Each structure stands twice: as structure tokens, then as C-alpha cells.
A = this chain, B = another copy of it.
Amino acid sequence: MALDLHKRIYSKEVQSSKAGSQVIVAGWAADAKSLGKIAFIKLRDRAGIIQLVSSDKKIIEQASKITNESVIAVEGKVQASKAKAGGNEIEISKIEVLSLSDPKLPIDMSGKIETDLSKRLDWRFLDLRSQKHKLIFEIETEVLAAMREFCLKEGFFEICSPKFQGTAAESGAETFWIDYFGKKATLAQSPQFYKQLGVIAGFEKVFECAPVFRANPSHTTRHDTEFTSFDIEIGFIKSVDDIISLEERWLKYILERVKEKFGRQIKEVFGVEIVAPKIPFPRVTMDEAHKIVKSLGGKVEAGMDLDSEGEKLLSQHILKKFRHEFVFVTPFPWKVRPFYHMRPANNPDVSLSYDLLYNGLEITTGAQREHRYEKLMEQVKDKGLNPKSIQWYLDMFRFGAPPHGGFGLSPTRVVMQMLNLGNVREATFVPRDTERLTP
């Protein structure tokens, strides 16, 4: 009779089980080996690894046929391990092969040989079996949960906005085009217009966590052609400062949660100390940012955004000076911002917006939006856009729109920076770039 998987416990629970008790475990076989009169198998499940042993002849013979990465279910008796590491192990009484693995594994699974990232991504289902890689997504699950939880506690609406769009919210450059029943449609580069719709519809506080699509032809460690974006928009604000302080509280909440739940494990596995950020975060103007970057030998272009090298230099400076991993660059030059950002009355060269850097990488753009129809129309013209192409959006400001603003952030970038992973693909479940469409 087959082993009853309903009675299965996780490897971790074996450690707290009484010696002598009968248990059932199931998972992937690793390091299966037979040393003459004794067989060892490491069993890996989602909670960890447990050692299985047997000195029974029949079972040793059976075990010798089990290839690494096969899925097995095992019944056995809990006993204290004789190995140096200590803890419990299981003496096998019954072993069942649920799925026998081809012995020729396409990538190294022992953790001893480094496989290049591209090949690892080709075999992502094997790559993610490593405890380290799996941990990234356990943390990402927690990050997303904390992000939403904060919003729900504060009374936000969750929205699910359309990804098919007749108009592009951002510049047309990075747009993917689709044949949509004989018409042309684009894929959402951002839920920008729709989260504003939510606020203007009276939802007041909205969030969305969903994929966005950018036809960015560059192949860097920071860019995917699609990624998950967490977007927030709130109404009835006094100024962009309300957005900044919301984002500060939000990030503090998230990092505190990660630190609490995974701080020790992250230290062990990634060698990184998670820091829950102090509020307020440091802020610099773009001029100050330029001065700092120049003083550290970086390049800047007058009136323009920092490049990725500049972002790193600025963050290094802030970390040294303020012991803070975050820094807001605000206000931002109008000419590098989209038409819907608000400009202050006294300075049309800037927009009431910011970028937020985390450990040397931009993770957010936020802004107060222009909610006054006439001003918005001026800005549409100033940017040389055709108002007709976004008429439905502009119409939203003709029938009562409160002052509002918000930001968008890539949770993947947050995890990448938090764990110092060096490449956004490490923190992406199954990444997409210009070359990659499989798996």
C-alpha cells in the first residue's frame, strides 16, 4: 500500500519529533550514497533537509537505484543522528519512489560548481531547488504580503487595471504593440492613468500590484521587459510631502517585517544585515546630488537624471554621511518628467516629484499629479503631445479631481537591493529580457 501523504510531516518537524516515533516524509533525494552496509540519502523538502539512513539490506539495494533529484516518500523511525552536526535523522522502514529522476542532470545541483546565470535560468525549476535561491522567493512572498497589508490597514482599495491600453501612459518609446481584433493596442507600461482614475472615482486610496511591460532593448542587470510593479495613489494630499512620508512609513513597515521574520537567515545565507530605515529618510536636491556625484569623480549632465554609476556614488555618500540606505532626490527637473507631474507655482523648471534610491539603485518614482485641467492642458502642449490621443484621461479632470499623488515601485528591485543580489534576474521567478522567452 502506498504511503499516506496526508500523514507526511516536514523535515523541520522531524527535528522536534520524539526519538522512536514513526514518521512519513517526502521530497527530493540528494547526495544518495551507499557505503557498503549503510545507505544515506538526504531528503530535501520545502522546509529544509533531513538525513535518511538504513542498514537494511533490501532497503540499501532499493536506495542504490534512487538517483539524485528523484521524488521519494519515506516512512521511518526518528533517531538521534550520529553525525557531528547532530539533530535527528530517520531510519528508513519503507521507501517509495514517486518520480525517478534522469541521472544526467543538466546543471550542477551539489552547490559545488558555479553554473552561469543564463544556463541556470534555462533550468530554473532545478535552479530554484537550492535553499538559497528558494529563500529569495520566500522573502519576496513576505515583502509582497507586507506591502499589501500596510495598504489594507490604511483602508486602501485594491484595483486590477487593464493591461491592454489604447494609449500609452509613458513615452511611446518602450511600447509593446498588439493586434487587438484588428485594432492596435499597447501593453501597460504602468497603471498610472488607472490608479488616478481610482482616486478621481472617489476610492481615494488605491494600490495595485501587477505586471508592467517595457520594450526596453537594453540588456542590463537592472532591467526586465516585464516586471511586477507595486503602485500606490492617494487623494486629498496637501503636497508631495504626503507621498514621501507615506512611502517612508510603508518601506519601514516592510523592512521591519523582513528583519523580524528573516533577519537571522538573511545574515547567514546572504551575509547581509537588514536595516529597518529611520524616518525621515535623507533628501537631496538634484543640484546637490550632482555636486556630490561630481565630487566623487562621477559624471553628470546638467539638468538631467543621474546615471547608474551616479546613483551608486550618491548612495555611498549618503550611507557614509547619514548611515542611511535610502535617499530621496527631489524635486526633479521638469524636462525629464512626464506631462502629468505637477510643477510648483514659483518654478516651472522642476516638478513636484522625486526618485528614491535604495543602496545605489533607483527603486521608485513618485510625484504629485497636476489635477487642474487648464494647467494639465498647458503641460500636455509643453511636452508636445496630442491631447486627442489621451482625451479620456484629460476628461477626468473636468468633473472634480482632488489633489493627489503617488508612486510606483518594483518589489523585485527592492529584494535585489535588500539581499545585494547584483542582478534583478536573481529576484525574478522566471525572468524575461530581449533574448529570453522560455522557460
Contact = CB atoms under 8 A, between A and B. Distances in A.
A403 B400 CA distance: 55
Contacts of A434: 181
Interface stretch (A152-160, A272-280, A314-322, A346-354): A152-160
Interface in A385-421: 392-393, 396-403, 412
A203 B137 contact: yes
Contacts of A137: 157, 159, 203
Given A201-B134, A438-B166, A5 B238 contact: yes
Interface string A56-92: 0000000000000111000000000000000000000
A335 interface: no
A437 interface: yes
Of A71, A371, A429, most buried by chain B (CB within 10 Å of CB) is: A429
A431 interface: yes
Contact of A430 (B145, B162, B400): B162
A138 interface: yes
A44 interface: yes
Contacts of A183: 437
A217 interface: yes
A225 B164 contact: yes
A167 interface: yes
Interface stretch (A33-41, A125-133, A297-305, A357-365): A125-133
A117 interface: no
18 contacts: A4-B238, A27-B202, A46-B155, A46-B202, A70-B400, A71-B400, A99-B400, A122-B392, A125-B396, A128-B198, A128-B201, A129-B201, A161-B430, A166-B437, A181-B217, A183-B437, A194-B430, A210-B211
Interface of A: 4-6, 8, 26-29, 44-46, 69-71, 98-102, 105-106, 122, 124-129, 134, 137-138, 140-141, 144-145, 148, 152, 155-167, 176-181, 183, 185, 187, 193-194, 197-198, 200-205, 210-211, 213, 215, 217, 225-226, 228, 236-238, 242, 371-372, 392-393, 396-403, 412, 428-432, 434-435, 437-439
